[in-house]
Amino acid sequence: MPAATRRAGLTEVPGLRVGHADRRSQGWRTGTTVVLIEGGAVASGEVRGGGPGTRETDLLAAHAVIERVDAICLSGGSAYGLAAADGVMAHLAERDTGFRVGPEAGQVVPIVPTAVIFDLGRGGRFDRRPDASFGRRAAQRAVRGPVATGAVGAGTGAQAGWLQGGVGTARREIPGGVMVAALAVVNAAGRVIDPSTALPWFHEGAGLRRPPASERRALAAYIDACLAAAAPSPATTSASAPPLNTTIGLVACSARLTKAECHKVAQVAHDGLARAVRPVHSMFDGDTIFALSTGAGELPEPELPEHLRGRARGVALNAVLEAAADCFAAACTIGVIDAVSGGAALAYRDLCPSAFGRRPAT
């Protein structure tokens, strides 16, 4: 398959590295993505889907004793894929990285919040799913450079509104030199593409053109065929199981934020998800977003009149929140438009090549 697209994004936040591990043959189509955090980061998170698969999210609550996390693990494999975090923990423990519980080297407990998507069986074998070896390999491959996007890592077996899903990333710099960035794994039951225009719901900055009518019809016909194939037959009940899906990811900020402020960032990032995917947060989605503050610098507060100075922190935080929502929405779009089909689901670029300035194949 073609090499994955690489984009500036999450690793633009100082201290973050991203690595992928995946398999896509002999019944496999799944993977794991790991974000390593040099020196740890203040973190929180927000789970809004009705069917989440998560690990260590309770530690992210404001009342919990743990303030900093060492890595984030995102994986395929549904609940089985939570085992990938074991490999990340082992990788970190070997480097004496984690919450210290004893005086000797290695006496640490790495804190690795984890979320998973449902991609079981999408390579042909239900029992092909990530384990600890996937998490270890992804951690070993983590780098600071541009992030590989599309159907890679945790997005290898992802689908989004019947199209090939994937990993996307985006970043924004806000006044004061603060970097805000997001990484999303898009495996949504909802659609990322507006059927009336054949463009993503959120395509700001994506550089896409509106596809011609022929491609809009091709996209609509493909989605209709997928819906028809999934519809209950006379031999089944109307309560047949809907698709099991999830969008997971994280937003990171280079400025120093509190745990409570990180929680607000995670909450508002879900607004970005709602801009890019429609509908979201169903009972069969596990939508989960983490938020990190690497604390590379202070959050610059604006100069306000004396009677408004008590609001300066809130004004500064609002800029982070706005960027977080924009970044997560853009990351969701990029995960789908960068994806190359390798399984049963066609990719957006297969159906609408003109959106990228390419003519359809003849």
Q: Please give the pLDDT value at position 239.
A: 41
Calpha distance 324→271 (Å, rounded): 9
- The count of structural domains within the chain is 1
Residue 60 lies in a domain: yes
Residue 210 lies in a domain: yes
Full domain range(s) for residue 19: 5-356
Residue 270 lies in a domain: yes
For the chain, the maximum distance between any two Cα atoms, rounded to a whole number of angstroms, is 71
Distance linking the first and last C-alpha atoms of the chain: 21
Least confident of 129-143, 174-188, 224-238, 310-324: 224-238
Confidence check: pLDDT of 310 > 70: no
Residue 95 lies in a domain: yes
Q: Please give the pLDDT value at position 260.
A: 95
Which residue from 204, 208, 154, 181 is spatially nearest to 335, judged by alpha carbons? 154
Residue 361 lies in a domain: no
Residue 317 lies in a domain: yes
Residue 224 lies in a domain: yes
Q: Please give the pLDDT value at position 237.
A: 40
Confidence check: pLDDT of 353 > 80: yes
Calpha distance 130→280 (Å, rounded): 25
Cis before 242? omega within 30? no
Domain of 110, CATH number, reads 3.60.70.12
Calpha distance 136→343 (Å, rounded): 25
Query: What is the percent of the chain with per-residue pLDDT over 90, rounded to a whole number?
Result: 76
CA angle 60, 62, 64 (to 5 degrees): 65
Q: Taking the model in full, what pTM does it have? A: 0.93
